Amino acid sequence: MELSLLMHKLFAATLLCILVCSAAARAAELHVRVVDHKGKLVSDAVVLATAVDPRNALRAKPATDAVDQVDKQFVPYVKPVFVGATVRFPNSDNIRHQVYSFSPAKKFELPLYGGLNAQPVVFDKPGVVVLGCNIHDWMIGYIYVSDTPFFAKTGSAGTAIIADLPPGEYAVRVWHPNLARTEDSTTRRITVTAEDSTSAEWQLDLKPNFRVPRVSGAGSAAYP
């Protein structure tokens, strides 16, 4: 009887192992290319894939990430993170910055600091968090807090790859800081398979990127 129970346990463990290994082996990739309405490649677009089948919605462990400040700019300009992520704000400039956000997804303020002296911030609510510096008004950056662990950001080639996707059907959407329409309006159903990587292309309507200028010859400005 005991031997039979042991055999059952061994069988179950082996089966689980095979299932897990095969799932890993069968992980798929989604390749996305993003262009604007003129066909120009779009960088800094966040592509997000939400599993339609809840069994594929793996719970990822929230990560630790960083948004730096270099030459009075946020680097990177857009940072996607999974909900619950802890983000550090190192300051690589040899001056002090005062980072803040008014966004509903995360309101915070880091008092004037230099180097690595800022407290990390936990982003525990999905949504877009707009970053600013109260000293240098032209500094702007974005943290996209994703509600799905499957996301990627487009580079200068306008492409993003979401790897390690369990095969299945996904609701895929794209967000960009200058998106003219709602993020939901970009949603498409895409099925990814284990055999091949799946490719898709988005054409986004982007609005002009009006930003506070760093330099102005108009005679005066709020800086210095």
Partner 1 sequence: MRSTLASLTTLTILSAAAHTARADWSLAAAASANHDNNVGNAQAESDKVRDYAASANLSLHELIPLGGGFGVAVGGDLAGEAFDRLDGLNNASISGALSLKKKWGLGAFAPWARGQFSLGREAYQDGYRDATLYRASLELGKRVDERWNLWVQYLFERRDASPAPQAVPGRSSDAFSQDGNNLAATVEFSMSERISLTAGFLWRHGDVISTSLVPWNYLYVAATAIAEDPTFGPDAYAYKLTGTTYGVKLGAEFFVTTHSTIGCSFQHLETQANGGNNYLKSVPEITWNYRF
Which one among 38, 59, 94, 196 touches partner 1, defined by CB under 8 A?
94
Least distance from partner 1 to the Cβ atom of residue 184, Å: 24
Instruction: Decide: is 11 part of the binding site for partner 1 (CB under 8 A).
Output: no
Q: In angstroms, rounded to a whole number, what is the distance separating the alpha carbons of residues 207 and 183?
A: 13
Interface size with partner 1, residues (CB under 8 A)? 32
Question: According to CB under 8 A, which residues from 127 to 146 bind partner 1?
Answer: 132, 134-135, 137-138
For residues 67 and 75, the answer to whether their CB atoms sit within 8 Å is yes
In the region spanning residues 200 to 219, those forming contacts with partner 1, defined by CB under 8 A, are 208-219
- Cβ 211 to partner 1, closest distance in Å? 7
Which CB, 14 or 216, lies closer to partner 1? 216
Binding range to partner 1, per CB under 8 A, among 3-11, 50-58, 96-104, 149-157: 96-104
Is the CA virtual torsion 54, 58, 62, 66 positive or negative?
negative
| Residue (of 202, 168, 203, 197) closest to 31 by Cα position | 197
Structure tokens at 198: 């799946």
Cα 180 to Cα 57, 127, 208: the distances in Å are: 29, 17, 9
For residue 100, count other CB atoms closer than 10 A to its CB: 16
State which residue, 11 or 102, has the beta carbon closest to partner 1. Answer: 102
| Nearest distance from C-beta of residue 164 to partner 1, angstroms | 36
Q: Does 40 bind partner 1 (CB under 8 A)?
A: no
Q: Please give the Cα distance from 125 to 94 (Å, whole number).
A: 32
On the 0-12 / 13-18 / 19+ scale of CB atoms within 10 A, 137 is middle
Contacts of partner 1 in 97-126 (CB under 8 A): 98, 100, 102, 109, 111-112, 114
The least distance separating partner 1 from the CB of residue 87, rounded to whole angstroms, comes to 19
**Which run of H or of E encompasses 7?**
helix 2-25
The footprint of partner 1 (CB under 8 A) covers: 94-96, 98, 100, 102, 109, 111-112, 114, 132, 134-135, 137-138, 208-224
